[in-house]
Amino acid sequence: MTEKFTGNFTQQEPIPDEAIEAALAVLRHGRLHRYNVSPGELAETALLEQEFAAQTGAKYCLAVSSGGYALATALRAIGVQPGDTVLTNAFTLAPVPGAIASIGAKPVFVGVTEALTIDLDDLESKLDQSDVLMLSHMRGHLCDMDRLMQICDAAGVAVIEDCAHTMGAAWRGQKSGRQGVIGCYSCQTYKHINSGEGGLLITDDEELAAKATVLSGSYMLYERHLAAPGPEVFERIKYTTPNVSGRMDNLRAAILRPQLRNLEQQIDRWNERYVEIEKGLRGTPGLTIVERPEAETYVGSSIQFLLLDWSPERIALVMQRCAARGVDLKWFGGAEPTGFTSRYDSWRYVESAPLPASDRILSGIMDMRVPLTFSLDDCRLIARIIRTEVGAVFQS
């Protein structure tokens, strides 16, 4: 009998009861806008910022409307101007080059390695093209952050980290998002904490924090923040920083705070599942496991493997055969963008030079979400199905 998987790859766990209660309290008092507080009240949004700053060890934190908004805000706060170039990963998701384009700047793509991280040699050769790197930790893979920071610091290139997939991850024990000058996170449903939409931005730089706060739409109410610099810093920037409205509201923050307290536990659960799938895939002929560096603490909320140098037809066949058995694989290498996946050369608003070495890797990246609604048995079954189908096509 052929085994079939019947679970749903896009089904999250429900919002925890504690978060639902907190959301109901906000709905009952009606003060959803973050600056609408009664005397002495601390807004859920301000508390979320304070708690996330403490959790990451950052001095300052700002909650905003989305991860993409956090990225664009980081670029604006740093002072990137229309027409400027910004280095970024060729292997990332559309909102990353989109954030760069949203302020009229131009992405310059840097290649990807078989570890699915930014190609540091390619980066070194392009450091003279920009003062800013928007580093996307795509699918939760951290590059050698020691070397990256060393070469960027030496070249005077500011690093903004896109931590949409690395909330809770770490490099040599330091939280992801703390190596660069700014770290940006997403609280969108498919990431590590879920408020539907939402974003967080952290930094230790007081001026960047003040600018980001005013940019997000604080008006002159920034003193209601608990993880922002003092008013003297705002005095320096408040007349010259535009309001590009993109605040988070108290309802989302209320939903997120209990999830944030639970994050470490959820990471353990994601990683149990990840390890189970990885174990099941290891040794499959034709399939390359993406090995994780020892210095990296990852969050296995999705898993990738490579079908290197496979023809598009054979990859399509693997996907078809897996899909027929209920296993949804995503292919980042497809020539046409579909669903959430796309390649750097499908963002045609960017003039991009070809990256042949990266094209070889991109065309072999298979991706799968690992929702926490899957049991460990589910994970073992999924791995068996992939193993059988990859093997069958490989040997045909």
Binding site for ligand PLP (CB under 6 A): 66-68, 92-93, 95-96, 136, 138, 162, 164-165, 186, 188, 199
Nearest CB to ligand PLP, comparing residues 34 and 165: 165
* CB 282 to ligand PLP: min, Å: 26
Q: Output the residue with the shortest Cβ distance to ligand PLP.
A: 67
Nearest CB to ligand PLP, comparing residues 5 and 91: 91
* CB 365 to ligand PLP: min, Å: 14
Active site residues: 191
Tell me how far CA of residue 343 lies from CA of 213, 332, 340, 346, in angstroms.
32, 7, 10, 5
CB of 159 closer than 8 Å to CB of 181: yes
* CB 93 to ligand PLP: min, Å: 4
Nearest CB to ligand PLP, comparing residues 67 and 258: 67
| Cα 271 to Cα 273: distance, rounded to the nearest angstrom | 5
Nearest CB to ligand PLP, comparing residues 66 and 284: 66
* CB 375 to ligand PLP: min, Å: 25
| Cα 154 to Cα 87: distance, rounded to the nearest angstrom | 16
User: Widest CA span of the chain, in angstroms?
Assistant: 72
Nearest CB to ligand PLP, comparing residues 71 and 390: 71
* CB 195 to ligand PLP: min, Å: 10
Q: Which two tokens stand for residue 135?
A: 């580093």
What is the signed CA dihedral for 266, 268, 272, 277, rounded to 10 degrees? 70
